[in-house]
């Protein structure tokens, strides 16, 4: 008889235990998602004093649904090359939700890069996005550094795709005899750009010119993938 009552009490406890575990499991699964912060879409956002607070969103307000048009999702901003008449012999045209309203809330932006022979896109990073780059024409040398200082470099031709992971410093060099053109998609509507050299030197600095020369020499070295030996811009 004692065994019977013990089993009954155990069964009742199990009936309470199972739904309790289920509830805890659901909380663990869904609470992190609902309580986590949205990724920032600007560099900094300190809290305004209470008397100065006005409406400011992490992004942009949406159009009223009744006013949305098909033209909101079309752009011609990437149909032509930018100005390549500069010391870098390159141009990068970034299109974000600011220029292309249809990108708002989609977590996407686009870019077109044009590089003349012996031209470069100096080392830079995107703090809020990874970049997937498609080679539309020409030949380029691309590379990025991971947080351990390892170099991942490849020579790419027309039709090939390369990925620059989020926040990592990367660069592009024209490796051919004609103009190279690439198109990129980034997974943020405001990826941000941090130019490593521009943050420290003016664009007409001898240091920047020296870096360009060393980068072009770097592309000619034909280093194997992931090699960090003999970096030509090491001072």
Q: Mean pLDDT for each consecutive 10-residue tract of the chain (235 residues)?
A: 45 52 51 58 70 70 89 95 93 94 92 96 94 97 93 95 97 95 96 76 55 59 50 41
- The whole model's pTM is what? 0.73
Per-residue confidence (pLDDT) for residue 114, from 0 to 100? 98
Those residues with Cβ within 8 angstroms of residue 93's Cβ, 6 or more apart along the chain or in another chain: 77, 78, 82, 111, 112, 113
Ligand-binding site membership of 124 (annotated): yes
Ligand-binding site membership of 160 (annotated): no
Ligand-binding site membership of 209 (annotated): no
d(CA 92, CA 146): 23
Per-residue confidence (pLDDT) for residue 31, from 0 to 100? 52
Per-residue confidence (pLDDT) for residue 128, from 0 to 100? 95
Per-residue confidence (pLDDT) for residue 2, from 0 to 100? 42
Per-residue confidence (pLDDT) for residue 76, from 0 to 100? 97
Per-residue confidence (pLDDT) for residue 16, from 0 to 100? 53
Per-residue confidence (pLDDT) for residue 230, from 0 to 100? 41
Ligand-binding site membership of 126 (annotated): yes
Per-residue confidence (pLDDT) for residue 41, from 0 to 100? 77
Per-residue confidence (pLDDT) for residue 75, from 0 to 100? 96
């Amino acid at each position: 008889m004692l065994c019977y009552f013990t089993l009954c009490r155990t069964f009742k406890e199990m009936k309470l235990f199972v739904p309790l575990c289920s509830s805890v499991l659901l909380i663990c699964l869904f609470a992190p998602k609902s309580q986590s912060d949205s990724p920032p879409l600007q560099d900094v956002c300190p809290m305004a004093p209470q008397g100065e607070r006005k409406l400011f969103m992490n992004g942009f307000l949406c159009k009223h649904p009744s006013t949305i048009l098909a033209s909101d999702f079309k752009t011609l901003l990437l149909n032509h090359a930018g100005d390549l008449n500069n010391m870098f012999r390159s141009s990068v045209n970034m299109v974000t939700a600011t220029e292309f309203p249809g990108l708002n809330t989609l977590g996407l932006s686009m870019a077109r890069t044009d590089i003349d022979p012996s031209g470069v896109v100096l080392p830079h990073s995107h703090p809020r996005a990874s970049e997937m780059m498609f080679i539309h024409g020409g030949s380029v040398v691309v590379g990025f550094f991971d947080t351990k200082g390892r170099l991942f470099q490849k020579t790419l031709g027309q039709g090939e795709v390369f990925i620059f992971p989020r926040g990592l410093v990367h660069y592009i060099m024209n490796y051919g005899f004609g103009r190279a053109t690439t198109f990129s998609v980034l997974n943020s509507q405001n990826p941000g750009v941090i130019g490593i050299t521009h943050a420290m030197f003016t664009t007409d600095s001898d240091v920047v010119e020296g870096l360009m020369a060393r980068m072009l020499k770097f592309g000619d070295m034909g280093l194997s993938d992931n090699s960090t030996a003999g970096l030509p811009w090491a001072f």
